[in-house]
Chain A
Amino acid sequence: MSTTNGNLLEVKDLRTYFELEEGTVKAVDGISFELKRGETLGIVGESGSGKSVTNLSIIRLIPSPPGKIVSGEILFDGQDILLLPEAAVRKIRGRRIAMIFQDPMTSLNPFMKISKQLMEMTQLHLGYTSARAYEHAVKMLETVGIPDARARVDDYPHEFSGGMRQRVMIAMALSCEPELLIADEPTTALDVTIQAQILELIREIKRETGTSIILITHDLGVVAGMTDHLIVMYAGKVFEQAPTKELFAVSANPYTKGLLRSVPDPLIAQGDLYQIPGLPPDVAHLPSGCPFAPRCERAQQICREEYPPFVRVNVDHHSLCHFAREVYEESLHERKF
């Protein structure tokens, strides 16, 4: 496996726009990040903040038209995916970059047996014979903890529960031992107990195989224990980017702080739950200043007029805010108590 400076994935200034009748929607607007082998990256943000579009861009699955990757580079193992021909990208999809989708109820083909869907991967990418692919499918189901896998492998998706379907999706994604696993809100559609099991499974798999993972979620609780680095997205832009521990401890962005405050803490009796005032902006009509300014508690005149800078407040810790340093200092101060 050739590596260039240890990064499996480097995204540089990725911009994915959607040309709609009501204007250009800048779903992802200049996002950059790196992912080393064996690391887990979390991407957090509200609905519509561009998390999923980022990841669909990585494997070039943006519906086009209306979607278009306007600029940027996506270097996967040193190779710019955006410059590859479609056939070459198809060889990467599933084989080297696998995805787990949000809703396991709709992500499996209702008319295909589980075995067929699992076998397709290895037959397609690894050239397995159907007998070998079948055995592999059974093994993968056992790996992800489906009881009595051999008996269930020929079932149809509707005979599986939500949690089990998500396990099947994970088994499918892992069949070819991908180098990068993109999990797009893998637990959103599941209830809390199953959620914990699936997360534990992903964590286990990561420990066993050393796969790099991008975990997209809007649940801060999910990323807290799972990721090494964290990206907070808002309105298609990276608002804060930091190692997970640092971001939770000393956030340098008012939006991140707002997000952290909105998580209910069962250990502290609270009155009303905190919520960030206002609604996420319409990405088709962004104000000229900071996109978060209308909802920000500490917004000043400058926030409404000038686009904020991407400030480096610490090693590996960046924040998109006019007052990044001040917020960072504040967080450090709060932490002392």
Chain B
Amino acid sequence: MLKARLKPHGGIHPDSHKQLTSDKPIKTLDTPWRLLLPLKQHAGAPALPVVAVGEQVLANQLLAKGNGRFSMPIHSPLAATVTAIDGSQITLRVASEAQRSVPPLARDGELSEREQMIALVEQAGIVGMGGAMFPTADKLRLSLRHSIDTLIINGSECEPYLTCDDRLMQEQGVQILGGIRYLMQITQASRCFIGIESNKPDAIEAMESVCRDEAGIDIVALPALYPMGSEKQLIEAVTGIQVPSGKLSADVGVLVQNVATCIAVFHALRFGRPLTHRVITLSGDALEEPTNVYAPIGMPISEIISQCGGLKSTPERIVLGGPMMGKAIQNIHAPVTKGTSGILLLTRQEVPHPKASACVRCGRCVAACPMSLTPLDLVGVLKQDKLDEASSLGLADCLLCGSCAYVCPAAIPLTEYFDWGKQTLQRQRLSEQKSNRTRANGDARRERLSREAAEKEAAKAAKAAASPRRPRRQTTEEAS
């Protein structure tokens, strides 16, 4: 076992609440009666449905195909009937009879070995399962253009409450190892580090014993610090290098994959199975029995809860993901997606009720920011809509990790400001790109028209020169 090279700057130590579920084995759920599959479960545009209402589908059958950049296919977790398709999701009624599945995904023989494997990962619809839902195939494709020497498997799981990766490492270490071997083959990385926070001794021990005889694979015990699982902080802690601002981790020869993604890659490459199920932590004091579940993607939260003992009290807030970066939802019947790592049903006591006040410039946010930004100054300029100044203060580098808002004694919604600022910047950049493209197109068209006109003119002149002159002279004579 290795130690982290350094402790990244800033970060916070929130109450972990992991003891609620850390010793609960992953429980496989009974088949639900319906599934709701959102068409957008990835970074890009929503997938395009390829099935029709009323159609019978088998397990693992393709339901929707990727639509352009960073868009991934979606498969049916179970044999079912399509009952509805609207703009945002496909609704399935799960068949009650025996489950049958389509044949496994096959490799495309045309491509090179590495590209075949990446194509299969893409066909399986795998996205980053830590929550970002960035298509894994697109990340792996970076290794074709950049030389990758280090693969880092992210088992830090720094978000409070969540224990699904912890349980996966304890229960399915061999499959993680299988995934690592495939990933090392794809990326051609020479070494692999599995980063695990030191507050998960059981997971560290399990992975140590699995990887004992593996050359080039090492376990790195990381400091228990939020946001240790953020890609940039993880890379810094493991390798000691910082990813330059605005660059990708592949630019420094590193690729990071989450442990659950690793297992999904293993299943896709070994068995030709698309990503249709995932492990989710079900936690929070409002639950009767907090636990870890293996659920089909698209299963409504309410059904998962009812299979796990139900609710103890009315939750004050339902959060998908971890409490630091997760999204609060109102609808308890909402489905889980490929990126849902946790479902939290929080009681009134667990949800903060901070008293809002004015900023006293205490600097806690400055000390907590893992990117070493100055959140209080950023908010100051964002309040005045000075986006240029905000970007010179590093707004684009903000991870939206929420560390600053967590420590702010004045309870200023810092993350909300930065989210807004980042989105506005992004929109500005897109519209700038668009207008640049329009201008370039306009210039090209003008240039083409003038070139064509000149060509036409030249052709005419050439034709005139080549043709006998007499008729024309006659006409001029007639005219005169």
Question: Do the two shown chains form a genuine complex with each other?
Answer: no
Partner-B contacts on A (CB < 8 A): none
